[in-house]
Structures are given as structure tokens and as C-alpha cells.
């Protein structure tokens, strides 16, 4: 007899069984079938603000995918997203959803791009994954370590494709740096330094009327209710208010930290096991994430970890044989200078090649090839952001057990791995 289950229904039912274990579902391709390489991947976009607008531009320029739906808390942004998609495809078929959950339930959508403010990343991605959708999630990943773990488990259980929005992995000089490190060209590593821009201060605290086209309660979602102000729902506001995000600790630090993870092999041991440090915070205004910070620590093998701001973003690997400092615009240092001409030899480890982050995501859905930033590596780098933030906010030395994935010997700090969600929102 032929089964009446669809591919997506099978994934859902399998996930109900496997989600109670620590292991991802292993679903044979003979059961699921493969996505035809010729298939056009249909996309839904959740979050049409400044970053969502940029991502939409990128996906509109790709072959093999088509944006068929958008969702945002602002009606005007939804309308603009629909207009852009319809203009690109010379059609009137793009759908508009006020509630992202309806977009995720739309059976015509294959994959979802999440570009909401940070506090919505995991909840929106979870909704998509639980409907069997592939997901591209902007950085940073979760609003807590707990959220990172829940999303990672869901992605594995449902067997969907995941791409993390750390676009620096799709830059050739970043890949070259990490290949040099992972193949031992710097010798044994002694230290890794991460630099990030700091946050900003300011923002009006004066309550004003809510714009008519904004569903403000939906924008706040799982975060505590607070009066609307002119700066609360802006691009800067959503990045620099602690009820929405970690600020640039995660919002920018995710980029150089992700390159560090890549160079260390994307393993749990790439997460430092000790953290201590301090930060400076705004004394007035709406924005309350740290203006600058100095976090220090150790990896399991004893090498030093340093994460500071404010500065230009940088990942600096220092080994016994040399140093490479890499940033988005190029290199800060290559020492010895002869290293700049180094190429990989036969048999040396090569990393996933991606020249376009969005295209890498679409290709992975169509062909089964790996994404350049999978959900496990995304969770590891986001753990570091949260552990650094916990260290600076608590003023305590934080110890991390990479096997159990928890803070040890400090119940107070361990509780900070969880953050409550405003009802009715939950991770369940």
C-alpha cells in the first residue's frame, strides 16, 4: 500500500518521537525523497525592516528561488515587501501575513528567512521548523542559551536545512584564514583575540502614541511590555535594548566569534570554558546594552581567549609559528609575511566553499550540499556571546562544561542561561 503521509507530515511525526531524546532524527532519503535540483525554492520572509530589506534584495537576485510571502508587524513594511517581490517577478502573487505563524503554516512555502529583531529569532524559526520549513536565521541566534539549545534540537529532529546569517563565512579571505589555522600553519595556538564595535547610548524614554500601522503588542512578543517610544522599535532600538537583545555583544560579536569557531573546527571545544570581565553601561537614555567590554578566559587546552569592545571587528589567531588577524575588509596582520602566499597542499583539510551566503542556503536545499554555517556551529558561537554577557553582568568568573553544555559551580549564573518569555509565548 502507498502511504498517505506527505514528506512534511512524516518529518513532523518523526520529530515528535525524537524530540524527547538527545539525538537528531535520522530519516532515510529513500523515505523523504530528494529535492529536484531544477526545483524553484519558494521563500517566505519574516521581518521586513532594514536587515530584512537587505536580505530580500539578495534573495531577489538569485536564481532557483522565489519570494512568495512576507510578514511584519508594520503593515507598511509588509506592503513594501509585497510590492518589491511582485515587481521583481512581474506578478501579483506574493502574499502578506500580519501573523508570521500563518506564513509558516502556508504549505506552498519551502523555506523561511528570519530577519526579525533578535528577541524573535528563535520563536519565529521554531515555528517554521516545526512546519517542516528550511530556515535562514539572521544572527545572533537566541535570546538565551536555552533558546539556542531548543532550536538546535528542533532543526536536527525535523531534518531541515539551516543557514546562519554570519555572512563572513562566504568571504574567501575568511575561509583562507580558517584553513590556514585548522591545518596547523600557525603551529599550536596560544591565544585568540576577538574585537567588536561597542554599543551606543541614547534613545528617547518619553512615551508617544503607537503608529497606526504597527501591531506593537506583536512586536514586543515575548519581551516585557513597556510603553512605546519613538526609538523603541527602530533599527538601533531593537539592537541596543536589553529586553530585545545582547546589543553588539551578540549583534556584531557573532561575526568574529563565528570565524574563530570555524578556524577551531566548529566543535564544542571551540567554546572557551572560563570567562571573567567587565563592561561599561549607559547612564541615561533608552539603550542599556554595554557600551564597551573586556572579557577574558581560557579554552580547554589552556590557550587564552580575549573578547573586547569598542573596536573594529577582528579575529586574531596567535600561534607558535605566527599570527593572522582577519576582518571583513581584509587582513590586519599576516606574520610571517611569507604566509600570505600559502596554499593548501593535497590531503589538507578544506572548508565548505560559499561565495554567496543566500545562494549557499538555496543550493543546500536543492542538492543536499552542506550549508557553510550549520545550526551546531551557530549555537556554539552564540553560547560564547551569552557566557561573555553573563560574566560581565554578574561580575563573576563563569565556568562552562562543554560536555553538559551548562555553567557549573554557580547556580546563580546558571539561572541566567534561561530568560522568561511574556505569555502566551513559549518555547514549547
- Domain with residue 182: its CATH number is 3.30.360.10
Mean pLDDT in the chain? Answer: 91
Q: What is the pLDDT of residue 34?
A: 55
Question: Does a structural domain hold residue 233?
Answer: yes
Q: What is the DSSP string of 267-335?
A: SGGGS-SEEEEEEE--SSSS--S-SEEEEEEE-TTS-EEEEEESS--EEEEEESS-EEEEETTEEEEEE
Number of compact structural domains in the chain: 2
Local structure of residue 351 (DSSP, 8 states)? P
Helix pair angle (375-394, 254-263), 10° resolution = 120
At 15, is the pLDDT very low, low, confident or very high (cuts 50, 70, 90)? very low
Q: Say if residue 24's pLDDT is above 50.
A: no
Question: Does a structural domain hold residue 243?
Answer: yes
What span, in angstroms and rounded, lies between the C-alpha atoms of 253 and 98? 31
**278 in Cβ contact with 391 (< 8 Å):** no
Full-model pTM: 0.91
pLDDT in tens, 372-386: 999 999 999 999 999
169 closest CA partner among 276, 257, 53: 257
Question: Does a structural domain hold residue 420?
Answer: no
Question: Does a structural domain hold residue 360?
Answer: no
Shared domain for 324 and 198, answered yes or no, is yes
Average pLDDT over residues 150-156: 98
Q: Say if residue 245's pLDDT is above 50.
A: yes
Question: Does a structural domain hold residue 391?
Answer: yes
Shared domain for 331 and 300, answered yes or no, is yes
Q: What is the pLDDT of residue 13?
A: 40
Q: Say if residue 128's pLDDT is above 80.
A: yes
pLDDT in tens, 291-316: 999 999 999 999 999 999 998 899 99
Shared domain for 152 and 296, answered yes or no, is no
Give the structural domain span for 108.
Answer: 7-168
Question: Dihedrals φ, ψ of 347, to 5°?
Answer: 90, -15
What span, in angstroms and rounded, lies between the C-alpha atoms of 302 and 180? 21
**139 in Cβ contact with 113 (< 8 Å):** no
Local structure of residue 74 (DSSP, 8 states)? B
Amino acid at each position: 500500500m502507498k502511504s498517505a503521509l506527505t514528506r512534511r507530515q512524516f518529518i513532523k511525526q518523526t520529530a515528535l518521537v525524537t524530540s524527547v531524546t538527545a539525538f537528531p532524527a535520522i530519516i532515510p532519503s529513500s523515505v523523504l525523497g530528494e529535492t529536484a535540483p531544477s526545483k524553484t525554492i519558494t521563500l517566505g520572509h519574516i521581518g521586513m525592516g532594514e536587515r530584512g530589506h537587505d536580505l530580500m534584495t539578495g534573495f531577489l537576485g538569485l536564481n532557483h528561488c522565489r519570494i512568495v510571502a512576507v510578514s511584519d508587524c508594520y503593515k507598511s513594511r509588509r506592503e513594501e515587501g509585497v510590492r518589491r517581490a511582485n515587481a521583481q517577478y512581474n506578478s501579483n502573487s506574493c502574499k502578506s501575513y500580519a501573523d508570521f505563524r500563518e506564513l509558516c503554516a502556508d504549505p506552498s512555502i519551502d523555506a523561511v528567512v528570519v530577519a526579525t529583531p533578535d528577541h524573535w529569532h528563535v520563536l519565529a524559526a521554531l515555528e517554521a521548523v516545526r512546519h517542516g520549513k528550511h530556515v535562514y536565521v539572521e544572527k545572533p541566534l537566541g535570546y538565551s542559551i536555552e533558546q539556542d539549545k531548543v532550536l538546535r534540537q528542533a532543526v536536527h529532529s525535523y531534518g531541515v536545512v539551516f543557514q546562519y546569517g554570519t555572512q563572513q563565512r562566504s568571504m574567501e579571505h575568511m575561509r583562507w584564514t580558517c584553513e590556514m589555522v585548522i591545518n596547523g600553519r600557525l603551529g599550536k595556538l596560544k591565544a585568540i583575540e576577538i574585537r567588536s564595535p561597542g554599543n551606543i547610548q541614547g534613545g528617547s524614554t518619553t512615551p508617544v502614541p503607537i503608529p497606526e500601522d504597527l501591531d506593537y503588542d506583536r512586536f514586543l512578543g515575548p519581551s516585557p511590555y513597556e510603553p512605546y517610544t519613538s526609538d523603541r522599535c527602530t533599527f538601533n532600538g531593537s539592537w541596543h535594548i536589553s529586553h530585545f537583545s545582547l546589543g553588539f555583544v551578540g549583534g556584531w560579536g557573532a561575526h568574529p566569534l563565528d570565524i574563530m569557531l570555524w578556524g577551531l573546527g566548529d566543535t564544542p571545544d571551540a567554546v572557551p570554558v572560563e570567562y571573567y570581565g567587565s563592561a561599561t553601561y549607559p547612564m541615561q537614555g533608552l539603550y542599556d546594552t554595554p557600551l564597551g567590554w573586556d572579557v577574558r578566559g581560557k579554552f580547554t587546552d589552556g590557550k587564552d581567549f580575549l573578547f573586547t569592545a569598542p573596536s573594529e571587528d577582528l579575529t586574531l589567531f596567535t600561534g607558535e609559528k605566527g599570527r593572522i588577524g582577519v576582518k571583513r575588509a581584509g587582513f590586519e596582520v599576516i606574520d610571517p609575511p611569507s604566509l600570505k602566499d600559502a596554499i593548501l597542499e593535497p590531503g589538507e583539510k578544506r572548508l565548505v566553499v560559499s561565495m554567496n551566503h543566500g545562494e549557499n542556503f538555496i543550493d543546500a536545499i536543492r542538492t543536499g550540499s552542506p550549508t557553510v554555517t550549520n545550526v551546531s556551529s551557530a549555537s556554539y558561537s552564540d553560547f560564547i556571546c551569552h557566557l561573555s554577557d553573563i560574566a560581565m553582568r554578574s561580575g563573576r568568573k563563569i565556568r562552562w562544561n562543554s560536555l553538559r553544555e551548562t555553567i557549573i559551580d554557580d547556580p546563580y549564573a546558571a539561572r541566567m542561561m534561561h530568560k522568561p518569555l511574556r505569555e502566551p509565548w513559549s518555547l514549547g
